[in-house]
Each structure stands twice: as C-alpha cells, then as structure tokens.
Amino acid sequence: MKPDQKATCPSAEPKAGAVLLGVVKQNGEVNLLSQRIEIDETFIETASQGRDLGQRFRFASPCAAKGCANWSGHHCMVLDIARQLAHIEPLSQFTLPACSIRDSCRWFMQDGADACRICPKINTGFTEIETV
Ligand code: SF4
C-alpha cells in the first residue's frame, strides 16, 4: 500500500465510486473479481431493480475506521465474528483468490491469507455468513 493510500473496507455500502468487489453465487459465497470496477449511480439504479444489492454483490470503499461501528479501536471486528460462524477450509488447502483490492484491503492488512479464506463466505456483512 502506498504511504498516502487509505485502507479499503471489503464490505462496504453500494455507493457511487465504490468498487464492485464480487458477485454472490447461488451457494451464498462470493466470487471475487480480479478486475477493479468502480460503480456509478447508473449501476446502482439499474441493479437495484432486482433483489437487494447486498444479497447479490459485495462492494469495497475507503475504511471509515473509528467512524464505523465495527471498529474495535485498533482493528475491524467483522472478521472476528465471521471466523466464529463460517466453516473455513484448512490453510493447507487454500489458494489466495484473485482480488482487486488486496494492496489496500483492511482485512488482509490485519490477518493476511487467513482473511482471504473467510472473506468469500461473507455477504452483506456478518449477519448473512454462509455456514455450509
Ligand atoms: S480479505 Fe482478501 S480476498 Fe477479501 S477483499 Fe481482502 S484481500 Fe481481497
């Protein structure tokens, strides 16, 4: 990450300028996109005509840190909660998924590859983690 670059939250609201991080698959897991795609108002308006955006996509935008309810004071707590709820495959069987924000991802900065094991299990925050 560049010195002047802000950390990126990988579970953000769909707002113009946010990055389309991934698409939720039928099994509830997120297929992370390797290409960086920024969304605009047109995307939000069009995509909102279907099911709730948060159930179909994941978005990323600058981490609000202490301005966010999930901030503990020194780290993001979403991963802590997700780790307790989601079935996570052993690290030995894991390959890092392609991801467009890894160079600034808040979760990757905190937990490295372990974060990327949990990340695809999360859609619309920790209330909808797949436990399969
Ligand atoms: S946790 Fe890993 S896979 Fe998920 S957004 Fe961050 S860098 Fe990408």
SS3 per-residue string spanning 18-66 = CEEEEEECCCCCEEECCCCCECCHHHHHHHCCCCCHHHHEEEEEECCHH
* pLDDT tens column, 18-32: 999 999 998 889 999
Ligand 1 atom with the smallest distance to the CA of 32 is: 3
pLDDT tens digits, one per residue of 89-106: 666 778 899 999 999 999
**The pLDDT of residue 2 is above 80:** no
Pocket residues for ligand 1 (CB within 6 Å)? 10, 21, 32, 97, 99, 101-102, 105, 107-108, 115-116, 119
Name the closest-CA residue to atom 1, ligand 1. 116
CA of 51 to the centre of ligand 1 (A): 24
Say yes or no to pLDDT of 128 above 60. Answer: no
The C-alpha atoms of residue 68 and residue 117 are separated, in whole angstroms, by 23
Residue range 33-84, pLDDT digits in tens: 999 999 999 999 999 997 788 889 999 999 999 999 999 999 999 988 888 8
Q: What is the pLDDT of residue 126?
A: 41
Residue 99: its pLDDT value, please?
Answer: 97
Q: Determine which residue's CA is closest to atom 2 belonging to ligand 1.
A: 116
pLDDT number for residue 123: 77
